Amino acid sequence: MLTELAARARARLDPAHWDFFAGGAGDERTLRANEEAFQRLRLLPRVLRATGPRDLRTTLFGTELSAPLLVAPTAFHRLAHPDGELATARGAAAAGTVLVVSMAATTPVEDIAAAGGPLWFQLYPQPDLEFTAAVVRRAERAGCRALVVTVDSPVFGRRERDRRNGFTDLPAGLVCEHLRDGTGRVRDIVMDADLGWERIDWLRGVTGLPIVLKGLLHPADALLAVEHGVSAVLVSNHGGRQLDGAVATVDALPAVVKAVGGQVPVLLDGGIRCGADILAALALGAGAVLVGRPVLWGLAAAGADGVRQVLDLLREDLDRALALAGARRPADLTGDLVAARC
Ligand SMILES: Cc1cc2nc3c(=O)[nH]c(=O)nc-3n(C[C@H](O)[C@H](O)[C@H](O)COP(=O)(O)O)c2cc1C
């Protein structure tokens, strides 16, 4: 469905930048597995259920979304399009959904907020706690409505494509804007291998924003996350960019949903490419899904308009899939919709 847009994006992008966006870690097993796991699912639809009109609206932390579909945090949007994160924010707002702003954004969160639309902020906690707290306060002041803490990155995944291409630095003029400190100097981002649960407790003391823990796959971690007071968990393997060989997210989802037992919403990202993928994730217990690369393809192909197109397309496809499966609302979906894995 989105392949034509991806081809347009590829044609417009510097090949090294395409590889940065498209690639994964290692042999890209997990990158492929995310999509393949959805393709293996077979659905068992119901009939004669009076499925019109559908209502896809979903509320998360008090924000109403046009569908259970958000924009995942991804780095360096100005590599994809000159308008960068501003275009992504405009596209997401036009589609009626939330953009999760990356800690590695190439546009400051204050400017992205001015482009309109609800935002969440993604954080890589830095070993410098004072600096980390200052970043969180920036996100709060800019109006972000949740803090997404990424915990699958104690070290950088090994990205073979970037190594091959010698892609190590952003081009002149682009920086990670959220790594500027008080003096205007731009710090290097640190993947903190010493991060532990106490940092989540600390963050809860720093901010009143809902905390979404991003990048867990194991049900025991989901349970710990709930015990440590997070407001949602996000089942993610970073789009196959961290531990190559990690389980596909839709395969990890049912055990996480079971462990969490409805105490907080369970979100999912990785490999969502059409309405039926969203349908399956919702049926297996996800409260909403996020998309990463498809939005980048829209952005690279046509800026804000391309982002809106991708999100509209996915929402419309979910609407059709819901009707065809015999449901009117996401909440009507149940696990028996997923009949088999082939
Ligand atoms: C180019 C790229 C950059 C990313 N940058 C970040 C990031 O800065 N922070 C983060 O938490 N996740 C990051 N991710 C992971 C995404 O948030 C998300 O987990 C993943 O893209 C979902 O898979 P999908 O691309 O198949 O939809 C990035 C992913 C890609 C493809």
Query: Domain containing 72: what range?
Result: 3-341
Interior angle at CA 107, CA 234 and CA 196, nearest 5: 35
Task: Give the β-pairing of 266-269 and 99-101.
Answer: unpaired
Q: Could you tell me which residues come within 8 angstroms of residue 340 by beta carbon, excluding any fewer than 6 positions away?
A: 41, 42
Q: Note the pLDDT of residue 84.
A: 98
SS3 60: strand
| 310 pLDDT tier (thresholds 50, 70, 90) | very high
DSSP label at residue 81? -
Q: CA-CA distance, 106 to 54, in Å (whole number)?
A: 37
Per-residue pLDDT at 139 exceeds 80: yes
SS3 97: coil
Please confirm, yes or no, whether 238 is among the known catalytic residues.
yes
Q: Note the pLDDT of residue 116.
A: 86
CA 31 to ligand 1: nearest atom: 26
Q: CA-CA distance, 224 to 197, in Å (whole number)?
A: 8
How confident is the model over 277-299, as pLDDT tens digits?
Answer: 999 999 999 999 999 999 999 99
Which CA distances in Å does 317 have to 71, 120, 330?
16, 25, 13
**CATH number reported for the structural domain that contains residue 62 in this entry:** 3.20.20.70
Which residues does the annotation place in the binding site?
Answer: 73-75, 102, 122, 124, 150, 159, 214, 236, 238, 241, 269-273, 292-293
Per-residue pLDDT at 272 exceeds 90: yes
Ligand 1 pocket test, pick from 31, 241, 273 with the greatest ligand atom count within 8 Å of Cβ, gives: 241
How confident is the model over 65-81, as pLDDT tens digits?
Answer: 999 999 999 999 999 99
Region 54-73: what's the mean pLDDT?
98
CA 271 to ligand 1: nearest atom: 26
How confident is the model over 77-109, as pLDDT tens digits?
Answer: 999 999 999 999 999 999 999 999 999 999 999
| 1 pLDDT tier (thresholds 50, 70, 90) | confident
User: How many folded domains does the chain comprise?
Assistant: 1
Q: CA-CA distance, 270 to 294, in Å (whole number)?
A: 11
Ligand 1 pocket test, pick from 32, 74, 277 with the greatest ligand atom count within 8 Å of Cβ, gives: 74
Q: What percent of the chain has pLDDT over 70?
A: 100
**What's the chain's average pLDDT?**
97
How confident is the model over 194-239, as pLDDT tens digits?
Answer: 999 999 999 999 999 999 999 999 999 999 999 999 999 999 999 9
Residue (of 92, 50, 41) closest to 309 by Cα position: 92
Where do runs of H (alpha helix) occur along the chain?
A: 3-12, 15-22, 29-40, 77-80, 84-94, 109-114, 129-141, 160-165, 197-206, 219-227, 249-260, 275-283, 293-325
Q: Note the pLDDT of residue 52.
A: 95
Q: CA-CA distance, 331 to 94, in Å (whole number)?
A: 24
For the record, the structure tokens of 81 come out as: 């399009």
H or E element at residue 22? helix 15-22
Q: What is the helix, strand, coil percentage profile of the chain, to 5?
A: 45, 15, 40
